[in-house]
Amino acid sequence: MIGFEHMKKISRTSPSRIVLLIIDGIGGLPHAKTGKTELESARKPNLNRIARDSLCGLIDPVSPGITPGSAPGHMAIFGYDPVKYNIGRGVVEALGMDLELKPDDIAARGNFCTVDDRGIITDRRAGRLATEKNTELCRLLNNIAIEGAEISVLPVKEHRFVLVLRGKTLSPELADSDPQQLGLAPKKIEALLPQAQRTAEIANEFVSQARSRLQHESPANMVLMRGFSRRPDIPSLPEIYKLKPAAIATYPMYRGLARLVGMKVLPGGDSITEQLDSLRGYYADYDFFFVHFKSTDARGEDGDFQAKVQAIEALDDALPNLLSLDPDVLIVTGDHSTPATLAAHSWHPVPFMLKSKWCRPDNVAEFSERACLAGGMGRFPATEIMPLAMANALKLDKFGA
Amino acid sequence: MIGFEHMKKISRTSPSRIVLLIIDGIGGLPHAKTGKTELESARKPNLNRIARDSLCGLIDPVSPGITPGSAPGHMAIFGYDPVKYNIGRGVVEALGMDLELKPDDIAARGNFCTVDDRGIITDRRAGRLATEKNTELCRLLNNIAIEGAEISVLPVKEHRFVLVLRGKTLSPELADSDPQQLGLAPKKIEALLPQAQRTAEIANEFVSQARSRLQHESPANMVLMRGFSRRPDIPSLPEIYKLKPAAIATYPMYRGLARLVGMKVLPGGDSITEQLDSLRGYYADYDFFFVHFKSTDARGEDGDFQAKVQAIEALDDALPNLLSLDPDVLIVTGDHSTPATLAAHSWHPVPFMLKSKWCRPDNVAEFSERACLAGGMGRFPATEIMPLAMANALKLDKFGA
């Protein structure tokens, strides 16, 4: 794609509306018995109807063979080079807590863990602690005071927490303390650049005080830190594309990612039906909508093929409410594949379709991995989606004389 | 594609001949009634016959979603990264006047416009002035004399003119004076880099003197300047590919672009029949021919679907004269799409075919958008065309040991 500096020059506002429906983890692999993927197995008349009027294809969120985390998967679809704009683990966790990070804040992902008498890690997750216990322990650590940084410790689920260091002249250039294996002691946190020396001292002091406060706890008697990072400096969608974008997502992390790129986060409810009702309610107020559907990914990660098929069918049933809005541009795709047979995110390209008055339809009549292969876009990088969306909404001027 | 420095090393001369036929704006969109594009609607036995023996595909002139101007569309096909080698508006206008720009010349596009008593723009095009009046006014401005630059003012059509500043140490790093909207005064021309300060003064002095000389004119009592630019420093096709290239184009801008990349411009006549006669006449003297067919784009921009279909049919009728030359490599494609339904250039990929003794034909039997999708090249960047042309002409050595 052309660079943001060029895109800024040719983008323009117009009354047309773009709806981007991201079906998390939608791509799959064939079931051993039927030879059909989850999408190929699902009854999905509405998705197929959209496919018949659409420009179809398959996206590579990062590049062939690379399995994306949720953050790069979404960043690529939002038009950001997912390698250049890779977001640190700590920041992703903080976004997932609906935390508003300031530009200078350093966030890190923490695990409560178990160490033996010699300080050797025996359980990296402290027996997947109950979230209530986690909350109690975080309260214990939250009032640790260290000169030079304001410290916040926030519980996530089970053994997970987020550490936020707020202060001037802090640096995120720190190595992890988490050795990511058993039988070793947690590592001292090292500064990766000289200017991170003081921040490393603060982080190590935090770990040391946390260990003292946790010494009589069992099994959570220690912490492991990783992914020290700062919110990246990202040009926003309004800056690049002159859009007024909004997000409707039930999970906090996706709301956080949306906020990071300049979207307004709208109330959504817990089900796709409520999300699409919200879309309808706010339809007049924005010109770009990101709607995030989660359960396809969750069922894929569970390894439950049939449940993932049902999630697709439930989504399909809800679509008429979206279709009746008749968006100028409707894009349906996913941030990555989550084949139930793998029970994990995967590297496989993800079905994509774009419907607009100005798309050049191809001969694809079904929304599935194999059918989309014959689509007009073929296989292509996810970062090309935003320029295509803008073009089909007639929101781009000509490039060059 | 590999860089020019590599291409220079592996390219070689040989007696084989390449003919590149660019059908301007050839790509289209389906007609609402028939569901068929202009190409799919046209009777075109010769184009289809070529397709059956060709390697087919669809090109992206710039990248997905990006609508190219004519200059980037052609530059990409000639093998130049259209973003890196983006040619300024002023230079493109000058090329369109068959002006030979020297490497240091600064060219800008000018509009005659109307301002009110307070200097506020009330018409950016001075009522689309008659070209005769424009010519008279350009004569009035052409003898403006400013220390440090030789000034030429040349009429284009209606309200458009080209300003050329010739002198040493001039810089094209100038902002526009044209605010591109009504209700504002023309802007002072600002230097974008310190070394452009003197050029900015000269340009502002030109505008000031032009305003004096036009003060009693109506409606053309002021000028607006934009797109200050210099001919880019471009390695030529003879340098990169060791070709002896020639161009046959009826419109000056395409002749100018051809000259810019080192082609010899041949006489062509006004019709495709005359152009192909010229090709035959000069066939022994060059080894690369760029033939430009314009009317498909013009009819597309008119929004006249049927007329564009007829333009395709007229071209097809003329092709036997080309085919009987039996070029070693024949490439047929376009610089961008111009769907009649949009009545403008568009971002849609453009059908492509390459016929040679050494191409690997695919199963495509028709030259159209949908048919070429299944071609051996799939969808690909236009900058890959030149290496493909060279390879199929057996004019490239092996890369690497």
User: Least CA distance to B81: which residue of chain A?
Assistant: A2
pLDDT digits (tens, 9 = 90+) for B353-376: 999 999 999 999 999 999 999 999
Give strand pairing partners of B55: B354
Decide if B86 and A400 are in contact by the 8 Å CB cutoff.
yes
CA distance B352 to B372: 7
Contact B315, B21 (CB under 8 A): no
**Residue B99 has what pLDDT?**
86
**Residue A98 has what pLDDT?**
80
Summary mean pLDDT of chain B: 96
Decide if B66 and A396 are in contact by the 8 Å CB cutoff.
yes
**Residue B401 has what pLDDT?**
87
Q: Residue A390 — φ and ψ, nearest 5°?
A: -65, -45
Helix axes A45-52, A305-318, angle to 10 degrees: 70
Decide if B373 and A361 are in contact by the 8 Å CB cutoff.
no
Distances (CA, A) of A349 to A229, A296, A359, A373: 29, 16, 21, 10
Mean local confidence (pLDDT), B153-172:
94
Summary mean pLDDT of chain A: 96
Torsion sign across C-alpha atoms A310, A311, A317, A319: negative
pLDDT digits (tens, 9 = 90+) for B175-215: 999 998 899 999 999 999 999 999 999 999 999 999 999 99
Chain B touched by A373 (CB under 8 Å): no
**Residue A270 has what pLDDT?**
87
pLDDT digits (tens, 9 = 90+) for B302-327: 999 999 999 999 999 999 999 999 99
Mutate to test the interface with A, among B38, B59, B63 (most CBs of A within 10 A): B63
**Residue A376 has what pLDDT?**
97
Distance of alpha carbon B69 from the chain centroid: 7
Chain A touched by B351 (CB under 8 Å): no
User: Least CA distance to A6: which residue of chain B?
Assistant: B83
DSSP conformation letters of A72-140: HHHHHHTT--TTTTPPPHHHHHHHHTT----TT-EEEEEEEEEE-TTS-EEETTTTT--HHHHHHHHHH
pLDDT digits (tens, 9 = 90+) for A238-278: 999 999 999 999 888 899 999 999 999 999 888 999 999 99
Instruction: Check residues B251 and B107 and name the one with the higher pLDDT.
Output: B107
**Residue A251 has what pLDDT?**
87
User: Least CA distance to B347: which residue of chain A?
Assistant: A391
Share of chain B above pLDDT 70, in %: 100
Question: A298-318 burial, b if ≥16 CB within 10 A, otherwise e?
Answer: bbbbeeebebbbbbbbbbbeb
**Residue A252 has what pLDDT?**
85
**Residue B268 has what pLDDT?**
87
Residue B263 distance to chain A (closest CA, Å): 20
Enumerate residues 6+ apart whose C-beta is below 8 A from B128.
Answer: B158, B159
Contacts of A10 in chain B (CB under 8 A): 66
DSSP conformation letters of B203-251: HHHHHHHHHHHHTT-SS--EEEEEEEEE------HHHHH---EEEEESS
Using omega within 30 degrees of 0 as the cis cutoff, is the peptide bond preceding A172 cis?
no
pLDDT digits (tens, 9 = 90+) for B382-396: 999 999 999 999 999
**Residue A34 has what pLDDT?**
98
Decide if B87 and A399 are in contact by the 8 Å CB cutoff.
no
**Residue B215 has what pLDDT?**
95
pLDDT digits (tens, 9 = 90+) for B111-145: 999 999 999 999 999 999 999 999 999 999 999 99
Enumerate residues 6+ apart whose C-beta is below 8 A from A107.
Answer: A88, A90, A91, A93, A94, A99, A101, A162, A163, A164, A165, A227, A228, A229, A230, A231
Contacts of A362 in chain B (CB under 8 A): 370, 373
CA distance A255 to A81: 19
For A401, which of B71, B347, B369 is closest by C-beta distance? B71
**Residue B67 has what pLDDT?**
98
**Residue A157 has what pLDDT?**
87
DSSP A195: G
Chain A touched by B382 (CB under 8 Å): no
Helix, strand or coil, per DSSP, at residue A56: strand
Contacts of B303 in chain A (CB under 8 A): none
pLDDT tens track of chain A, all 401 residues?
Answer: 899 999 999 999 999 999 999 999 999 999 999 999 999 999 999 999 999 999 999 999 999 999 999 999 999 999 999 999 999 999 998 988 888 899 999 999 999 999 999 999 999 999 999 999 999 999 999 999 999 999 999 999 899 999 999 998 999 999 999 999 999 999 999 999 999 999 999 999 999 999 999 999 999 999 999 999 999 889 999 999 999 999 999 888 899 999 999 999 999 888 999 999 999 999 999 999 999 999 999 999 999 999 999 999 999 999 999 999 999 999 999 999 999 999 999 999 999 999 999 999 899 999 999 999 999 999 999 999 999 999 999 999 999 98
**Residue A269 has what pLDDT?**
84
Torsion sign across C-alpha atoms B248, B254, B256, B258: negative
Q: What are the tokens at A341?
A: 């047979």
**Residue A72 has what pLDDT?**
97
